[in-house]
Structure 1
Amino acid sequence: MKILVLNSGSSSLKYKLFSEGEAVADGIVEHIGEEGGVKDHREALEIAEKALIRAGAVESFDRLDAVGHRVVHGGERFIEPVRIDSEVIGAIRDLIPLAPLHNPANLEGIEMMKKKVPHVPQVAVFDTAFHQTMPKRSYLYAIPLEFYENYGVRRYGFHGTSHMYIAKKAAERLGKPLKTVNLITLHLGNGASACAIEKGQSVDTSMGFTPLAGLVMGTRSGDIDPEIPVMMEKKGLDADTVLNKQSGLRGLCGENDMRRIQERAAAGDEKSRTALEVYVHRIRHYIGAYMAQLGRVDALVFTAGIGEHSPLVRQMVCRGLEPLGIVLDTKKNADGRRDISAPKSQIRIFVIPTDEELEIALQTEAVLKR
């Protein structure tokens, strides 16, 4: 089965083609609608198709068995992937107020592909779906209940496709069924989130109503006092811009590339060292909270760009957690091993590369086989 996975952004189109569960080609078209870039998503799809044909991956999009789309926000309605029809398209459109930067772009990719190959089945896989198993005590905010009932204000969580994928891989490494394992998963990239997984299901996650909450990120603040954006607005600042684009690591040290921050910290730059410590402190805060919530934890899992490639961050996160049963093997960690737990560690520590596109392809195939 040939499945094309699309991640359509406002000015970019990422694509990856899978054949019988194996990735055979991928690429990205950037600067859509911008000066010097391609005109629109239709033209981007034409470029993607030609590139895949040149690579010998597919004869044409007409020969695809299915298209899987990443959709950022599924609200409370979508708790699993769904085959796309006019009703689903309408529902995704209705959810635009909850994800104004993402859902419109996701819809653009869906509608363009529907026009191009209307006979090819399309499936929507939602970032929020994995977290729909959270109980009310996790997803409700302590604000007037009418905000939830009338406007859908609650914790939704994101990176769900990644957390689901690495949870399954961690269960395999543990040699246990997914429905029996308790995990703390850390998706650490430019965007970052933590997830508490109980018996294979998400019961809490650090991101909230939007992807702004939780861990310190590249340019996003993560958790802050709710009065801070009020103060910013009073000073004439656009809080949305400051908190989403000028905060996080960049706000603390002027840099959001963790590799550069580590280099600068090692060279004695005080701001970079402090930014690194703040970043790690927030991660440890969530680990402690989730350990208290889960009671028993089988594994702590690092994934995504920083989680997979920064031994220093992993070492700093795990330092001093020995009394909690988390004991890092420093040599395994430095060597880039996938299991970096010391023999005496009661909780396994894994580094598992995420593959959201593969998870989308697998879920797309599963929907078609129902």
Structure 2
Amino acid sequence: MSNYPKTALVINCGSSSVKFAVLDPTDGHVFLNGIGEALGLEDARISWKHSGGEKTETPLGAGAGHDKALAFLVNNILADDKALLDSIVACGHRIVQGGDIYSQPTLIDDEVEENIKKVIPFAPLHNPAHLLGIDAARENFPNIPHVAVFDTAFHQTMPPKAYRYAIPEEFYTDLHLRKYGAHGTSHMFIAQEAAKMLGKPLEETCLITCHMGNGASVSAVKNGKCVDTSMGLTPLDGLIMGTRCGSIDPSVVFFLCERLHKTPQEVEKIFNKESGMMAVSGVSSDFRPIVAGIQEGNERCTLALQMYAYRLAKFIASYYVPLGHVDAIVFSGGVGENGPTTRKYVCSELEEAFGIKIDNDANYKARVYMGVDHQVISKPDSSVKLFVIATNEELMIARSAMQFVK
């Protein structure tokens, strides 16, 4: 293809990876996507796939970092399709934590990078990697705007009664300890799509959006603005997740430190990497083998899914308070989009009290990987509509970046 529309490059950097995609911000068509993996390690490598093409993978060389991965993208992958390279007019960067500094997509300059550094303590694994990606991308794409799109930005509309903690005032004023939330770009996208399905302006809707992946969060979205969300200061809070414990009594930390002589860092690792669905089920952090275990009569797998559904249902129920009424509950993310058993467990917790009725036939047919991105899984007489919507954070980031193209 020689004639491309104006496209955006979307970059999402992890501590040892960089995901990238070149897409059309108008319709979301992806012309190229790929990932650099094991960066900094012996087997650093990069793989990519053009639209309609086959996946290609090649080593980057031992110890190759984010800079070499993005240089390879420019000098090797895109060099073979100069028309696609020339079509890129903006670059959007997914940034996990923007603190209370940023509530909108922001053009990146040196000051923005410094502010991203300031909030590293709130995202110690993610923000340093984002900065590596920003520096490498600005070097390799020096003539286009680079835009930071913050996972926390969408949640900046929460009122103080929702985001403040009941701790000494100076911890908030001096240390900025408060609820920030996460997955904001996803929650914003699925809220917009749910409003379209309802046939109502976003500004006239009350929605509960559930982003259910290995990391998971739920948000209350009133008239297009977030009024509460489940994740807190960090992505550890809230729902039970793949390997994260979610909300827990803080005294458990003191107990483990004193009784088992654990350091706070060791407890943090346990809560982030060794807990959640993996710990309860004893099988996996992946929901598919857990559901298979339930079907085989595994009691730990059954308990794990019951706990997950119960916790999510309680958050959903609590969000009736700030919303007043609910037009739709939306399931998204890898589990939300492709996990009918999980959706059924969640809705069964809500049926008696709230009249929420799931259509089992529609629910078990609704798997986003089968090609339908927007589906209704509620019965006609359900008090609330139930939607399954495929999230598309890359499209939101691309559109945000294009706002800065002159």
TM-score by length of 2: 0.88
Moved more, 164-173 or 323-332: 323-332
Question: Counterparts of 1:63 and 1:308 in 2: how far apart (Å)?
Answer: 32
Distance change (3 Å), C-alpha of 1:57 and 1:28: farther
Question: Counterparts of 1:57 and 1:232 in 2: how far apart (Å)?
Answer: 57
Deviations 1:217-247, CA, capped at 9 Å, x for gaps = 0000001001011112222231111000000
Distance change (3 Å), C-alpha of 1:86 and 1:289: same
Which of these residues, 275, 278, 287, is aligned with residue 316 of structure 2?
A: 287
The residue that corresponds to 1:274 in the other structure is: 303
Q: Could you tell me how far 1:20 is from its partner in structure 2?
A: 4.8
> Secondary structure in 2 aligned to 1:167?
helix
Deviations 1:86-112, CA, capped at 9 Å, x for gaps = 111111111212211111100111111
Question: Counterparts of 1:20 and 1:163 in 2: how far apart (Å)?
Answer: 18
Give the RMSD, CA atoms, in angstroms: 1.5
The residue that corresponds to 2:71 in the other structure is: 46
Q: How many residue pairs are counted as aligned between the two chains?
A: 367
User: Runs of 5+ in structure 1 lacking a partner?
Assistant: none
Q: Could you tell me how far 1:325 is from its partner in structure 2?
A: 3.3
The residue that corresponds to 1:346 in the other structure is: 383
Structure 2 residue 21 is the aligned partner of structure 1 residue 16: yes
Question: Counterparts of 2:42 and 2:278 in 1: how far apart (Å)?
Answer: 27
- For residues 191-270 of structure 1, the aligned pairs below 5 Å read 191-234=215-258, 235-237=260-262, 238-254=266-282, 255-270=284-299
The residue that corresponds to 2:57 in the other structure is: none
Q: Could you tell me how far 1:298 is from its partner in structure 2?
A: 0.5
The residue that corresponds to 1:316 in the other structure is: 345
Q: Could you tell me how far 1:51 is from its partner in structure 2?
A: 2.8
Question: Counterparts of 1:367 and 1:211 in 2: how far apart (Å)?
Answer: 29
> Secondary structure in 1 aligned to 2:376?
coil
Question: Counterparts of 1:285 and 1:358 in 2: how far apart (Å)?
Answer: 31
Q: Could you tell me how far 1:301 is from its partner in structure 2?
A: 0.2
Question: Counterparts of 2:25 and 2:161 in 1: how far apart (Å)?
Answer: 41
Deviations 1:114-162, CA, capped at 9 Å, x for gaps = 1222221100000000000000000001111111111010000000000
Contact 1:217 1:249 survives alignment (8 Å): yes
* Structure 1 consecutive aligned stretches of length 4 or more whose deviation exceeds 3 Å: 56-60
Moved more, 130-139 or 116-125: 116-125
Question: Counterparts of 2:404 and 2:383 in 1: how far apart (Å)?
Answer: 38
Q: Could you tell me how far 1:27 is from its partner in structure 2?
A: 0.7
Structure 2 residue 8 is the aligned partner of structure 1 residue 35: no
Report percent identity of matched pairs. Answer: 45
Q: Could you tell me how far 1:320 is from its partner in structure 2?
A: 4.7
Question: Counterparts of 2:82 and 2:396 in 1: how far apart (Å)?
Answer: 20
Contact 2:310 2:349 survives alignment (8 Å): no
Q: Could you tell me how far 1:368 is from its partner in structure 2?
A: 3.2
Question: Counterparts of 2:268 and 2:31 in 1: how far apart (Å)?
Answer: 39
Question: Counterparts of 2:277 and 2:93 in 1: how far apart (Å)?
Answer: 30
> Secondary structure in 1 aligned to 2:404?
helix
Structure 2 residue 372 is the aligned partner of structure 1 residue 325: no
Question: Counterparts of 1:297 and 1:217 in 2: how far apart (Å)?
Answer: 25
The residue that corresponds to 2:333 in the other structure is: 304
Deviations 1:263-292, CA, capped at 9 Å, x for gaps = 011101111111111111101110110123
Contact 1:25 1:52 survives alignment (8 Å): no
Question: Counterparts of 2:323 and 2:170 in 1: how far apart (Å)?
Answer: 30
Q: Could you tell me how far 1:306 is from its partner in structure 2?
A: 0.4
> Secondary structure in 2 aligned to 1:48?
helix
Structure 2 residue 67 is the aligned partner of structure 1 residue 26: no
Structure 2 residue 9 is the aligned partner of structure 1 residue 4: yes
- Tell me which amino acid in the other structure corresponds to 1:3: A
Q: Could you tell me how far 1:53 is from its partner in structure 2?
A: 4.4
Moved more, 334-343 or 269-278: 334-343
> Secondary structure in 2 aligned to 1:152?
coil
- Tell me which amino acid in the other structure corresponds to 1:270: E
Question: Counterparts of 1:295 and 1:53 in 2: how far apart (Å)?
Answer: 54
Moved more, 205-214 or 310-319: 310-319
Q: Could you tell me how far 1:345 is from its partner in structure 2?
A: 1.3
User: Runs of 5+ in structure 2 lacking a partner?
Assistant: 1-5, 45-59, 368-374
- Tell me which amino acid in the other structure corresponds to 1:361: A
Question: Counterparts of 1:318 and 1:6 in 2: how far apart (Å)?
Answer: 35
The residue that corresponds to 1:361 in the other structure is: 398
Deviations 1:329-370, CA, capped at 9 Å, x for gaps = 11111111710111111211000000000110011112336x
Which of these residues, 188, 193, 204, is aligned with residue 164 of structure 1?
A: 188
Moved more, 232-241 or 178-187: 232-241
